[in-house]
Structure 1
Amino acid sequence: MRPPRIRKPPPGLASTIDVWLIGRSARVRPTPADRLLRSLSMSANHSRLWMGIGAGLIVLGNRPLRRAGVRGLLSVSLASAIANGIAKPVFPRRRPPDESVPFVRRLVRPPVSSSFPSGHAASAAAFATGVALESPAAAAAIAPVALAVGYSRVHIGVHWPSDVVAGALLGSAVALVTHRWWAARADEPALLGHAEQVDPVPHGRGLLLVTNPMAGGGNGELASAQLRAGLPAARILKIDPERDLGAQLDARLDRADVTALGVSGGDGTVSSVAEVAVRRGVPLAVFADGTLNHFARDAGVDAAEPTLAALEHGTVVRVDAAEVRFDDGGSRIFVNTASLGGYPDFVRMRERWEPRLGKWPAAAIAMIRVLLGAQPLHTVIDRVPTAIWMLFVGNGRYDPADQVPMSRPELHRGTLDVRYLRADVRFSRTRLIWAALTGTLGNSATYVRREVPALAVRVGENPVSLATDGEVDFRGTDFAFVSRPSALALFRPPEA
C-alpha cells in the first residue's frame, strides 16, 4: 500500500521538520503495535491512565511510592490545567490533516482543540517526572509508558511532533516546580555525633525493653514477640497507660541488672523512654513500631537488624536531645519537636492525612484549616513582644529552611530549629496561606526561622498547652527551651 502524502501545510501550521517526521512515521508498515498505540493513547484521555497508576501507588505502595503517587497526580493536574486551559487558547494551531497517517491508525472522533501543545504529552511527562522526584526506581518503569503515550499522539496523526516535545517540556517543568513548595524528603539519615563503646548487651542481657501494645495501630504485641526472639534475655515492660512510665523505669533502673533501655513503639513512646535514658545516663535501643517513626527514621534506626547488631557489640552514637523547662520548675526532654499555639492542632491534622497524601499536601491542608480558625497568641520571644499563630521548636536542624519541615539532616550540633508564624503583620493570615500555596514561605514577612542553642518564650496571663513529640500534656506561661548536645547514647552501628 502506498503511504499517504502530506500536503504542505499553510505557513505557520507546522515546520518542515514536523512534516518530515510525521511523514516518516506514516511510512512505517502496519503492525499490531498500531492498535496498541491507539489504545494506549485513548487510555490517557483525561489523564485516566495516570490517575489509575497514581491511585495504585498510593493505595498499594510503601511510603516513598505513596509520596510518588501523590506528587505525580498533583503534577498531572497542574500540567493538564496549564496545557489545556491556558496554552492551547493562547497558541492556536491546526492539527495534522486526516490523511497524514494510514486509515487504520486514525481515531473515529479526532480532537478538534488546538494542536499546540500536546496535553497528553504534558500529563505523561508531568507524572513521570513527579514520580522520579520521589522514587527513581518507579519512574524507570513508568518512563517508557510516558514516552509511548507521547509518541502515540504522532503515530495516530492528532499532533505534530513539536506539539509533543513542547507538551513534554511543559509537563516536566511543572513537576520540577512542585519541588519549590513541596521538597522531596531525603531518605538518608541525619548526621549524628561521635561513636562510643559501652558494655555489650548480648541476647538482650541487661536490657529493659519497653513495649507499647497499641503502637502501629495495634501491632505492638506482634513486634514485641519478634523482639523477644531476637532478645531472649531481655526484660519486657509493657506500657500501662494508668501508671506513670517514668516512675516504673526509675524503679527498674535502680536494680543493678539493668544496664540499658530499649523501646518498641512510635514517636510518643520513644520520647518518653528517651527522657529517662537522658536523665539516668543509660544507652537506648530504639525499635520503630509506630505509624510515622520520625525519630527512628532520622536517626537511621528504623530497621531492627542494625540495632540488634549494635547491642551485641556495644556500639552507640551520641545524639542531641532538647529540653523545655516550665514556670513551675518542671522540665521535659524531647527528641523531635515542641510547639505552641496552633501547631499541635496542625500536627494532628497533618499526621492524620500524611500516610496517604504525603507530608506536603497534608501539611498545606492542615495549615489552612488551622489558620482559618486560629486566634493569635501574644508572646514575648527572647524579650521581644510578638503575636504568633504557631511556634515550632525542633531538636536539631530541619530541612528545608523556607518550607514546611520535611527531614532532619543533622542531630549533633547543639541546635534548636525555631520557626514561628507572625500574627502581628498586616493581612498575616491571608499572606501565610498564599505563601504556603505558592512556595514563597521563606520570603514572607510572616515567617521567621532561626537556629539557636536556647530560646525563652513567655505567653499571656492564661496558661497554654505545649506539645512535645506529638503529645499535648503540659500547660504553662513561661517556657525555656535549650539544646542538650550529645545527651542521648543511641545503639547504632557507626556505619549504619
Structure 2
Amino acid sequence: MKALSAAADHSLLWFAIAALLAGRRGATRKAAFRGVLAIAGASASSNAVMKPLLPRRRPAAAELPAYQTIDNPPTSSSFPSGHAASAAAFATALAMESPRLGIAVAPLAAGVAYSRVHIGVHWASDVLVGAGVGAGVALATQRWWPVRVTDEARARPLDTVPELPGGRGLVIISNQRSGDPEHDPADELEAAFPAAVVVRAEPHRDLDEQLDEAVEKQGEEARAVGVAGGDGSVAAAAAVAGRRGLPMVVVPTGTLNHFARDVGVYDLQEAVDSTGAGQAVAVDLALVEMHPGRGADPHSEQVVRTRCFINTASLGSYPDLVRLREKWQPRWGKWPAFAAALVTTLRRAEPVKIKIGDRWTWVWFLFVGNGPYHPRGAVPAYRPTLDSGLLDVRWLRADLRFSRLRAVAALLGGAVGHSRVYAERQVPRIDVELAVPGMLATDGEVVEESGRYTFRVADEPIPVYRRHEDQWTGRERPFQG
C-alpha cells in the first residue's frame, strides 16, 4: 500500500500508463489523452480549490504501526483526497472511451484510493469525496470533448441499388497519392473486384474527369462508381455519382478518411460485402457555387463554377486551423489538437469582411458542414446523421472587442455557444459575399477564389454502399477514434 500510494504521487503512475496507451492509435490513444485532461481538472479542483476552502486536520498517523506509515506525511488539508480524485478521474476517463481499459484500470485506481486511508493520511470520507470529484470532472470533459461511441452516422437505408457480384458494373478509380505514397491499392481492388473496371489515377489530371471518362466509355454497363482514396478523392467521385445518378462505392485509403468513417466503411472488405449484398444508405451531397464576384446580384443564377463537398467547406482562416489540427491530432487527439490549433490560428489570423444573408460583418472564419455537426454551440466534433438536408453554418465574429481572447476563453470554459463572438445556423442554403475575393477550402483543401459563394444541399442524395446495421452479422465494427 505504501509503495502504491507513493507511485501515484503527482499522478506519475497515471501519466506512465497514459504514455503507454498513447503509443496506440484509435480509442486507446483518445482514452489516454482524456485521462490526462481529467487528471488536470481533478487535481486543480481538489488541491487548488477545495483544500484551501475546506481545511481539515489529517488522521493521527502516529497511532498506526510504524510499518504502515510513511516518513514524510503531507501537511496540507486532508479534505478531499487528491490521490483519489486523480485515480477516479483517470479510470473514469478511460472507461468513457474504452470500457475494457476502464475495467482493467479500476482495481488499480481503487487500490490507490484505499492506500491513502491505509497509510493514515486521509479519512475515508476524504477518499470518497475525492473519488466523486474525480469522476465528475472526467464526465464533465464531454462538454469540451464529446464521447462518440461509434464512428458510423445514421442514414436512411436504400435497397434500390444494384448488387455488384465481383464488382460487375462498377467503375472504380484508385488514387495512389492518398495515404501512403508507397502503396498503390489498385492491385488489391482488382483482386477484390475481378469484374470491375479499375482506373489508375493519372497524377496531373482531375480525378473526376478521369472517372467521368471511364464511366462514359462503359456506357450502360456502368452501374456504380467507386473510389479508393481520401476525402478529396471521395469528393471528386461523389461529384460524378451526383451528375450521373449512380450509387457510389468508397474504399478508404487516405490518411484520415472522415467521410468513410461517417458512412461506416472501414476497409476494402466492407465495400465488397455491401456491394455484393446490394445495400446502401442515402447521403447528402453539398454544393458550393462560385459567382462572378462582389456586387453581383445575389439572386442571379450566373455561376462560374460549382464544386461539391462531402464534409466541410470554409472561408477565412479555418483552412489553416484544419491543417494544424490534422498535423497535431495523431499525437494529441482531436480536441486538444483543435484547441491548440485554434489559439495558434487566431493569433496569426486576419479578419475577413463578409456578408451573410443581408448583413455585413467581420469574421475570423466561416465553417459550413455538410449536415449538422455535434455538439451544437461548441467545437464541431462529428455529424450524427448523413441525410438531414441541412448545412451547418458557424462563424467566429471579429467585430467585437477582444474577440479572439473571448473566443479562446469561451472554448476553455465550454461555453462557446453562449458567447457573442460565436454564431451558427442550420439551413438548406446560404449566400455569402466577400468584400475582397477570398479563398475557399473544401474538405480541407484550398480549391477556389471568388467574391461570392452559394452553399446548398443537392436536390437528391447519393446512394453510398454500406451494410445495413440490423443485418450486420460479420466482424465486429471497429471504433477508429
Q: Compare 473-482 and 297-306 and name the one that shifted more.
A: 297-306
Q: Answer yes or no: is the 8 Å Cα contact 1:186–1:407 preserved in 2.
A: no
Instruction: Provide structure 1 residue ranges, at least 5 long, that are not aligned to the other structure.
Output: 1-36
Taking a change above 3 Å as real, the CA distance of residues 276 and 227 of structure 1, as seen in their structure-2 partners, is: same
User: Which residue number in structure 2 is paired with residue 45 of structure 1?
Assistant: 9
Partner of 1:349 in structure 2?
324
Q: Is the counterpart of residue 246 in structure 1 residue 208 in structure 2?
A: yes
Letter in 2 for 1:144: P
User: Offset of 1:133 from its aligned partner?
Assistant: 2.2
Query: 8 Å contact 2:438–2:449 — kept in the other structure?
Result: yes
Q: In the alignment, is residue 145 of structure 1 matched against residue 145 of structure 2?
A: no
Query: Which SS does the other structure have where 1:490 is aligned?
Result: strand
CA shift digits 1:216-244 (9 cap, x unpaired)? 333642x4443333222223223333122
What's the CA shift for 1:196? Answer: 3.0
Question: For residue 423 of structure 1, what is the aligned residue in structure 2?
Answer: 398
For residues 275 and 105 of structure 1, do their structure 2 counterparts lie closer, same or farther at Cα, with a shift above 3 Å needed? same
Q: How does 1:35-434 map to 2 (within 5 A)?
A: 37-60=1-24, 62-218=25-181, 220-221=183-184, 223-256=185-218, 257-328=221-292, 329-434=304-409
Partner residue, 2:296:
none
Contact kept, 8 Å, 2:431 with 2:453, in 1: the verdict is: yes
Residues 102-111 or 62-71, more deviating: 102-111
The one-letter amino acid paired with 1:70 is F
Kindly provide the amino acid, as one letter, of the partner of residue 388 in structure 1.
V
Contact 1:190 1:410 in 2 (8 A): yes
Inter-partner Cα distance in structure 2 for 1:91 and 1:193: 54
Structure 1 residue 464 corresponds to structure 2 residue 427: no
Q: How far is the alpha carbon of 1:485 from its aligned partner?
A: 4.7
- Contact between 2:286 and 2:455, CA under 8 Å: does it hold in 1? yes
Cα distance in 1 between the residues matched to 2:204 and 2:108: 55
Q: CA deviation at 1:439?
A: 0.5
The answer to which of 187-196 and 292-301 deviates more is 187-196
Query: Does the 8 A contact of 2:207 with 2:233 survive in 1?
Result: no
Give runs of ≥4 in structure 1 deviating > 6 Å: none
Q: 2:383 aligns to what SS in structure 1?
A: strand
Q: Aligned-pair distance for 1:188? A: 4.9
How far 1:169 moved relative to its partner?
Answer: 1.3
> Distance in 1 between the 2:138 and 2:468 partners?
37
- In structure 2, relative to structure 1, the CA distance for the partners of 1:159 and 1:466 (3 Å cut) is same
CA offsets 1:190-236 (integer angstroms, 9 cap, x no match): 22134132332211222222222233333642x44433332222232
The reply to whether residue 493 of structure 1 matches residue 456 of structure 2 is no
- C-alpha distance in structure 2 between counterparts of 1:41 and 1:263, whole Å: 54
Question: Normalized against structure 2, the TM-score is what?
Answer: 0.91
Specify the SS of the correspondent of 1:176: helix
Name 1:436's counterpart in structure 2. 411
Residue 89 of structure 1 aligns to a residue whose secondary structure is: helix
TM-score normalised by L of structure 1: 0.88
Q: CA deviation at 1:246?
A: 2.1
Question: How many pairs align?
Answer: 457
Provide the C-alpha distance between the structure 2 equivalents of 1:121 and 1:367, rounded to a whole number of angstroms: 33
Equivalent position amino acid for 2:446 in 1? V
Q: Whole-Å Cα distance in 2 between the matches of residues 313 and 169 of structure 1? A: 49
Cα pair 2:172 2:211 within 8 Å, conserved? no
- Tell me how far apart the structure 2 counterparts of residues 251 and 265 of structure 1 sit (CA, whole Å): 18
CA distance in 1, matches of 2:284, 2:399: 33
Alpha-carbon separation, structure 1, partners of 2:76 and 2:363:
50
Identity %: 46
Cα deviation, residue 414, structure 1: 0.9
The answer (yes or no) to whether the contact 1:432–1:441 under 8 Å persists in 2 is yes
CA distance in 1, matches of 2:234, 2:151: 20
User: How large is the RMSD of aligned CA atoms in angstroms?
Assistant: 1.7
1:217 aligned counterpart, secondary structure: coil
> CA-to-partner distance for each residue in 1:74-112, whole Å, 9 max, x for gaps?
111121123222322333333222344332222233223
Extract unaligned runs of 5+ from structure 2.
293-303, 473-481
Residues 373 and 392 in structure 2, CA contact (< 8 A), matched pair in contact too: yes
Q: CA deviation at 1:450?
A: 1.2
- What SS does the corresponding residue of 1:450 show, helix, strand or coil? strand
Verify the 8 A CA contact 2:201 2:210 in the aligned structure 1: no
Closer, same or farther in 2 for the Cα pair 1:390/1:106, shift >3 Å? same
Q: Is the 8 A contact 1:220 1:264 kept in 2?
A: no
